[in-house]
Amino acid sequence: MGDTRKPRDSGQHAALQSMPSRREWLGMAAAAPLAVGLAGAASPVKAAKLSTKAHIVIVGGGLGGIAIANRLSSLLDGARLTLIDAKQEHNYQPGYTLVGTGIWPVEKVINRNADYHPSGLNWIQEMAAGFDPQSNTVITAGGQKVRYDYLVVATGTHQDWSLIEGMDVQAIGSNGLASVYPSPQAAVDTWKAMQAFTAKGGEAVMTLPSTPLKCAGAPLKLTFMVRDRLLQAGTLAKSKVTFHSALKDTVFGVKPVNDNVLERWVKLGIDVAYQHRLKAVDIGGRKATFAVPDAPDLVVPYDFLHAVPPMRAPDAVRNSDLAIKEGPMAAGGWLEVDKATLQHKRYPNVFGVGDINGTPRGKTAATIKKSAPIVAHNLVEVIAGRQAAEQFDGYTSCPLLIREGSALLVEFDYEGRLVPSLPGIEPLQDSFLAWLMKVRLLKPAYLSVLKGHA
């Protein structure tokens, strides 16, 4: 396999919990200035706020929704800001892969939404059940009809587990079933399942659906890391890792990254099967069924299965007139926004931020870091009677865990072009510095975005 590191106890926590080596200290010293760039430099002198009595409703209290609320609070004077979301807990979702692979404790991904709201925010603690953009109204699950002058949709995605027959999210952690997507607890249970699997070894089945996906790098990270945990446990020689992609000839939508990953997997002995869509799972029997074009369903026994749900827009958006009506994104019911301005194509008083947008790319926290300021700016321009002119280039970032202590930090735009922004990090070369970014520096940057500072 070309990897001569000595196996270690599979229950051992991450290497970064121990004293850093000289090389690691040098890496941290080099990375320290970059933390400022990730979190955002000190703000210049603030421009005068726009005076307005407009009522702005934000639907969705994740990173995008709260970041927009904080930004608008600092840009507008006299506006009424309403946030609609029932969730009390704020989850740092980019950390789920770290919890699910034994690198972080779960406490590091759990915060409280209320701690990050701007003062004066009206918080309606219900989920949105529907949108009527013709009457400028949001309908809540409790039946409230909330009128708005301007609307920001930040609902995120819906994980459609119903498309995998037999799947039970509550069973994650048992019988080798894993998935880091549903929740912090699912990430904890995924790590338990991974520990039990790597202690004995066997067949690891990793999956990827064909739908647009939030954090599309997570299935790849889990694949690299389960292989690394097998190596550490000394059970790699009697194990096999296979990645089943529902896509045709690809595992990642950016070609240079896709090719780089596939080359690495060949060297690591990780097999790939294409156009294999996870159709059903027999949890007790540890069998996964894949739909294969022009062939009978394929039943694959497993000892460890990482299931990734197909994703779409939440029903409230999908069933409304805000959804895309035609084209390849229509099936998912994604929000119909202009990919550059992120303004709705048919309702100019509506904007979208984050995973809900029906754009070619951009379902990561890093996307919100760059797009939230643009959405806030463009919305303020529209309130002031001007055009939404500032444009988003589709920036997306994905720190890919390669093994414990090493990662790739790939950054790209709508066109799939690599756009590296941090000195000292080559996008297709794994490094400790990229690992350090993921494990130590990206959450502080995330919190800065959440507070509207970056």
Single-letter code of the amino acid located at 81: L
**Joined tokens for residue 274:** 């294409």
Look at the block and give the residue holding tokens 């299931």. Answer: 307
pLDDT at 325 over 80: yes
Look at the block and give the residue holding tokens 């394929």. Answer: 298
For residue 352, the model assigns a pLDDT of 98
352-370 mean pLDDT: 95
- CA-atom Rg of the chain in angstroms: 22
pLDDT in tens, 116-175: 999 999 999 999 999 999 999 999 999 999 999 999 999 999 999 999 999 999 999 999
- Reported as a pLDDT band with limits 50, 70 and 90, residue 422 is confident
Q: Coil, strand or helix: which one is 403?
A: strand
Q: Coil, strand or helix: which one is 443?
A: helix
Residue 372's φ and ψ, nearest 5 degrees, are: -60, -45
Beta bridge partners of 207: 244
Look at the block and give the residue holding tokens 């989850």. Answer: 91
For 13, left (φ over 0), alpha (ψ -120 to 50), or beta? beta
Look at the block and give the residue holding tokens 């994740």. Answer: 62
pLDDT in tens, 161-178: 999 999 999 999 999 999
Mean of all residue pLDDT scores within the chain: 91
User: pTM for the whole thing?
Assistant: 0.91
For residue 46, the model assigns a pLDDT of 63
- Reported as a pLDDT band with limits 50, 70 and 90, residue 202 is very high
- What is the DSSP secondary-structure string of 223-279? HHHHHHHHHHHT-GGG-EEEEEESSSS-SSSSHHHHHHHHHHHHHHT-EEESS-EEE
| 235 closest CA partner among 402, 2, 9, 404 | 9
Spell out the residues 6+ positions from residue 73 whose beta carbon is closer than 8 angstroms to its own: 81, 118, 119, 120, 121, 452
pLDDT in tens, 39-95: 444 444 466 899 999 999 999 999 999 999 999 999 999 999 999 999 999 999 999
**C-alpha count within 13 angstroms, C-beta hemisphere, residue 5:** 15
**Joined tokens for residue 429:** 């070369």
